[in-house]
């Protein structure tokens, strides 16, 4: 059973809610994905003329757990303030913490991330940090009180899949008891399956579903891929070899003189 901050979940797909063509298509995609958690941005909820209220009502109707995020924040102060506001708006201590440090890749500012995580944990938040696959940074986040880690697969919205498989595999081995979620860069269901085959606990994605020609169908495809990847990991896959190995026994083979 997947557990985040003592809350159990059966679904291992977390879905973002931005960029969908319409609220109705978003709702179809969430239902098709079977996701139990969706990420939401405070900026959408607090938009002009309280336009976010209809969106918030839609999310409540879907019956999923909300994970607010600090998307677009570039400083510790901005991220902490956004998290504090999100707790008031959404009524949850959960926060997906993003502190962006580089504009082109949207790579996390790892120094600001750790600092913001310490502050938010001290204020009673359950922090889901969007980070890199760096083990030292991960250690600092755990020391700060984070009980979940969310390393990127590739830059947000790039669809490149898992850029550093070695680093992600090392993180899984280094933190066997901590829930790990690949967040960002997933473009196709095969990318998600690969992450799960590495032993990751879940995958968070948005653009690959929202920008698909048929978001609901793509959401379902991702749900199946994640289930397949998890089953494959639990089944203990074969180890790759450099040489061929015959699958048919040669014992008893006829010998022709």
CA–CA dist 106, 182 (Å, integer)? 15
Beta bridge partners of 180: 149
**Does residue 144 have a known ligand-binding role?**
no
- The enclosing H or E element of 204 equals strand 202-205
- Cβ distance 243 to 54 under 8 Å? no
Catalytic residue from among 77, 96, 211, 253: 96
Any known ligand binding at 161? no
What is the CA 193 to chain-centroid distance, rounded? Answer: 13
Report residue 158 CA to chain centroid gap.
Answer: 14
Instruction: Respond yes or no: is residue 253 known to be catalytic.
Output: no
Residue with tokens 């022709």: 256
Coil, helix or strand for 201?
coil
Dihedral angle over CA of 79, 11, 183, 199, nearest 10: 130
Is 164 flagged in the annotation as binding? no
The residue written with tokens 């690969």 in the block is 194
Whether 181 contacts 11, CB under 8 Å: no
Is 69 marked as binding a ligand? no
CA 198 to chain centre: 14
Task: Output the known binding site.
Answer: 157, 184-185, 206-207
Binding residues for 1-deoxy-D-xylulose 5-phosphate: 157, 184-185, 206-207
State the catalytic residues: 96
């Amino acid at each position: 059973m997947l557990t985040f901050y003592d809350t159990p979940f059966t679904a291992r797909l977390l879905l973002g809610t931005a960029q969908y063509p319409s609220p109705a298509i978003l709702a179809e995609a969430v239902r098709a994905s079977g996701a139990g958690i969706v990420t939401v941005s405070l900026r959408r909820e607090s938009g002009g003329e309280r336009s976010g209220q209809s969106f918030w009502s839609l999310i409540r109707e879907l019956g999923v757990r909300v994970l607010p995020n600090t998307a677009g924040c570039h400083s510790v102060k901005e991220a902490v303030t956004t998290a504090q506001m999100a707790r008031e708006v959404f009524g949850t201590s959960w926060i997906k913490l993003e502190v962006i440090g580089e504009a082109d890749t949207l790579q996390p500012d790892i120094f600001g991330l750790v600092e913001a995580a310490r502050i938010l944990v001290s204020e009673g938040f359950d922090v889901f940090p969007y980070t890199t696959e760096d083990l030292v940074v991960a250690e600092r986040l755990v020391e700060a009180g984070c009980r979940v880690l969310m390393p990127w697969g590739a830059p947000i919205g790039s669809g490149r899949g898992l850029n550093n498989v070695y680093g992600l595999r090392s993180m899984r081995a280094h933190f066997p008891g901590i829930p790990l979620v690949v967040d960002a860069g997933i473009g196709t269901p095969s990318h998600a399956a690969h992450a799960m085959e590495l032993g990751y606990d879940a995958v968070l994605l948005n653009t690959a579903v929202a920008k698909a020609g048929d978001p609901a169908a793509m959401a379902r495809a991702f749900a199946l891929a994640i289930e397949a990847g998890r089953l494959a990991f639990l089944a203990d896959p074969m180890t790759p070899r450099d040489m061929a190995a015959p699958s048919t026994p040669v014992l008893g083979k006829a010998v022709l003189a």
